Amino acid sequence: MPRVTLGEGRTPLIASRRIARELGLASLAFKLESCNPSGSYKDRFIAAELDQLLARGVRACIATSSGNTGASLAAYAARYEVPCTIVVSDSTPTGKLVQMAAHGARLIQVRGFTTNGAITGRVMTLLRDYAAARPAALVVSAYRYCPGGMAGVESLGHELAPAAPAHVFVPAGSGGMFIAVSRGLQATPTRVHAVQPAGCSTFAASWQRGGDAILPVESHTRVSGLSVPFDIDASLALAELRSRSGSAWALAVPDAAIFAAQAMMMEMEGISTEPAGAAALAGLIQALQDGRLGKTEPAVCIVSGHGFKDPAAAEAIAARHPAVQAEADELESLLA
């Protein structure tokens, strides 16, 4: 059987034109994972995971998603004729729900899933047991559940290696993407940093206090793609951070900083990103303000998902630039 693909990977790495100048940085670039076929880095994961599942004869999938895993799975499942049911939160952005439904996936929205740690834990246990008793695969974008699929995300780190940046900032929810990028850059001196929202800081909080426990939290972040209040890959992410012998950081940034970074990218660089995709830049700015990041050190921010994923967030930025209503005979003076 041919390898499962929709043309994912090999995404652009583009230099900043205005934000680097604004921040006084010598070198800043953005890795546009938003250019993957379904609009997020999860296409790397789904392509690798579905490839393995089809080789094993699996013909149906159950998945959990805050949005992007489900959107990606729905697209690839449509292409490869794999029925899929996706369990999502009742707060999943409309753009992601539309993607999933348009590709023909069956959606189940569960109240409190991805925002309440206890509910999330119960749902994950139920789905794991359900899939184990049936000829269906449970697809979760985490090393704990799908290590083969997550190994496909390590290609992101491999693609960054030739650029040899001093720092790479990675948005982090469950922590799987951070682990994958870190492993993909393991043979390089690049320092890979995880950025979580302060309103759902699982392993970043543990790293900052020097502890080992990953405790379920009540998520208060409005950054839906990074709302993972339960230990899925958080323990592994914490271990990966510590394996870097102090060269890696875990940053917890407020939602306001993430939404501000999203607006900067949209307005100053022409990069369309959902809020989660702007978390890396928010983390870089915080590291710069804290004096951790030197202005001459080359840095890359991972843009994990496209702006169409969360229409409400994009509309909030667009509202800062309202259209002017005019009559035809007023047009010339307005243009002047």
8 in a structural domain = no
- Classify strands 137-139 and 167-171 as parallel, antiparallel or unpaired: unpaired
269 in a structural domain = yes
Structural domain boundaries, residue 129: 42-147
Query: How is residue 3 annotated by DSSP?
Result: P
Is pLDDT above 70 for 84?
yes
Q: Are 198 and 252 in contact (CB under 8 A)?
A: yes
Two tokens at 328?
């035809």
The tens digit of pLDDT for each residue in 242-272 reads 998 789 999 999 999 999 999 999 999 999 9
Task: Give the residue from 223, 176, 168 showing the smallest Cα distance to 200.
Answer: 223
Is pLDDT above 80 for 22?
yes
Q: Domain containing 48 — which CATH number?
A: 3.40.50.1100
Q: What is the pTM (predicted TM-score) of this model?
A: 0.95
Strand partners, 200: none
Confidence of residue 179 (pLDDT cuts 50, 70, 90): very high
Mean pLDDT of the chain: 94
- Residues 221, 291 share a domain: yes
Task: Give the range among 17-21, 32-36, 55-59, 214-218 with minimum mean pLDDT.
Answer: 214-218
E strands within 82-180?
84-89, 106-110, 137-139, 167-171
Residue-level length of the chain: 336
- Classify strands 13-15 and 28-32 as parallel, antiparallel or unpaired: antiparallel
- Axis-axis angle for helices 255-264, 275-289 (nearest 10): 100
125 in a structural domain = yes
Two tokens at 75?
């697209």
The tens digit of pLDDT for each residue in 194-235 reads 999 999 999 998 898 888 888 778 889 999 889 888 788 999
- Residues 157, 66 share a domain: no
The tens digit of pLDDT for each residue in 43-67 reads 999 999 999 999 999 989 999 888 8
Residue where a domain terminates, one of 82, 115, 147: 147
257 in a structural domain = yes
**What is the tally of structural domains in the chain?**
2
List, as one string, the DSSP characters of 300-328: EEEE-B-GGG-HHHHHHHHTTSPPPP--G
Over residues 167-184, mean pLDDT? 97
226 in a structural domain = yes
- Residues 60, 125 share a domain: yes
